[in-house]
Amino acid sequence: MAVNEPGLVIIGGSDAGIMAGLWARQINPDLPVTLIVRDRYPNYSICGIPFYISGETPDWQMLAHRTTADLEAAGLQLLLQHDATAIDPAAHRVAVRTPDGTTTDIPYDALVIGTGAAPIRPRLPGSDLPGVHLLHTIDEARTLRSMIDADARQVVIIGAGYIGTEMADALAHRGLAVTIIEMAPAVLTTFDPDLGQIIGDQLTRHGITVATGTTVERIEHADGPGLRVIGTNGLDVLADAVLIAVGVRADALLAHAAGAATDDRGALVVNNMMATNLPDVWAAGDCVHTHHVLYDHPVYLPLGTTAHKQGRVAGINAAGGHARYTGSLGTQAVKILDLVAARTGLRDTEATAAGYDPLSITIAVDDHKAYYPGATTIHVRLTGDRHTGRLLGVQLIGAYGAEVSKRVDIAAAAIHAASTVDALADLDLSYTPPLSSPWDPLQTAAHEWTRHRPVP
């Protein structure tokens, strides 16, 4: 690809798009790379929004993974506040609305779609009232933070996934009265309910009102200023602001309109090179379905880590290199108050649905030797396949500082290697009394699992 050709065009300036651009330049430093970015904020960490809201990150501009200057120095041409409105795959052109409202056509040799996801707004009366927020962009975060800095005192959060619970933590940190509402029986719905309950209890202990098993039926104007949130179980609570965090859906309409295949959830279909069905068009990040190490079919698992890895693969391949996405395990960590919850692989129910024959055990053990000060409890749930002995998943909850998140990553590495539960216990893992035990908590759990497994 010569430098006078159109080169690589990328739609989207978040994790997937930026990674695609940076890696494309890395393997082909002469390749022209143009990013079409809808807003003014390329490469912002939306995972950092809760910490900006809490004030722990004082300035929203700190949330940039890289500055615009960094990106331009790396050879990326940024078209900020440009909106891609159509793709013509036959002509290899993207129609773009510029900041002044005119439309222009940008040619490409290769195109990477990184249009991300959009937050789901539930079909709920009042969900479009002023004061109801769908927190997904830097501008929305700034608006909410301004409200809090001014006079908001009571906030209701609808949805207690990891973003909802992080936001409950953040708003309580600012001294607001917080109610968090979840339909499921416990908060932190990507964990088993009894483990989510540990986080829920911690939220309660910190003065947050937790309403699980509760469905919001409507949001309406309060008699005075503010809003009133009404639902099942007698839910009737006033709020200066309502935050909806019930999940996201792939934002794939642009590519779909150009003929890109989507799955039944609306996510773009890609192969493990991150190629779509359109010629010279790749896609990555929250707008695509995700290949999973333990499922024989793709799933929708939008996560920042995955977007980074997929963006890298898309960028390398779009620039003429060769890379393959090796698959997700849905590995996640979240810090809530002074606890960390982390998971990788499949929970028991997920493993059953995927056709495995799972056995799960749970232990609660010290993170390090009790004779060294500060030992705390780690709850370990380990899931393996009864038939093959294969390790399928781990969920951990423990104290912030107790190396919880990277312990889950040991299990992730083992699952990637198709390890058995027994082999997890054989790994030569580190030990010093202030940080672990001679058998790491994961290995104690592996022993416990083997004790419970019926002799094969």
- State the residues that interact with a copy of itself by CB under 8 A: 15, 26, 45, 47-48, 51-52, 56-57, 62-63, 65, 293, 303-309, 325-335, 340, 342, 344, 369-373, 400-401, 403, 405-410, 412-414, 416-417, 419, 423, 426-436, 438-440, 451
User: Residue 30 in contact with residue 3, Cβ under 8 Å?
Assistant: yes
For a copy of itself, the closer of residues 118 and 423 by Cβ is 423
Kindly state the tokens that stand for 199.
């986080």
- Report, in Å, the least distance between residue 304 CB and a copy of itself: 5
User: Residue 104 in contact with residue 98, Cβ under 8 Å?
Assistant: yes
For a copy of itself, the closer of residues 225 and 438 by Cβ is 438
For a copy of itself, the closer of residues 76 and 342 by Cβ is 342
- Report, in Å, the least distance between residue 4 CB and a copy of itself: 27
For a copy of itself, the closer of residues 214 and 383 by Cβ is 383
What are the residues whose beta carbons fall under 8 Å from the beta carbon of 278, sequence distance 6 or more? 87, 89, 255, 258, 259, 260
CA distance 250 to 262: 10
What are the residues whose beta carbons fall under 8 Å from the beta carbon of 262, sequence distance 6 or more? 250, 252, 255, 256, 268, 269
DSSP string, 100-142: TS-EEEEE-SEEEE---EEE---S-TTTTSTTEEE--SHHHHH
For a copy of itself, the closer of residues 9 and 307 by Cβ is 307
- Report, in Å, the least distance between residue 423 CB and a copy of itself: 7
CA distance 368 to 380: 14
For a copy of itself, the closer of residues 109 and 366 by Cβ is 366
- Report, in Å, the least distance between residue 296 CB and a copy of itself: 17
Residue 349, SS3 per DSSP? helix
CA distance 288 to 393: 23
H helices of 226-362, in order, are: 253-257, 304-318, 348-353
Please name the residue that has the structure tokens 């209701």. Answer: 156
- Report, in Å, the least distance between residue 328 CB and a copy of itself: 5
For a copy of itself, the closer of residues 255 and 410 by Cβ is 410
- Report, in Å, the least distance between residue 95 CB and a copy of itself: 31
- Report, in Å, the least distance between residue 16 CB and a copy of itself: 11
Please name the residue that has the structure tokens 């790994």. Answer: 427
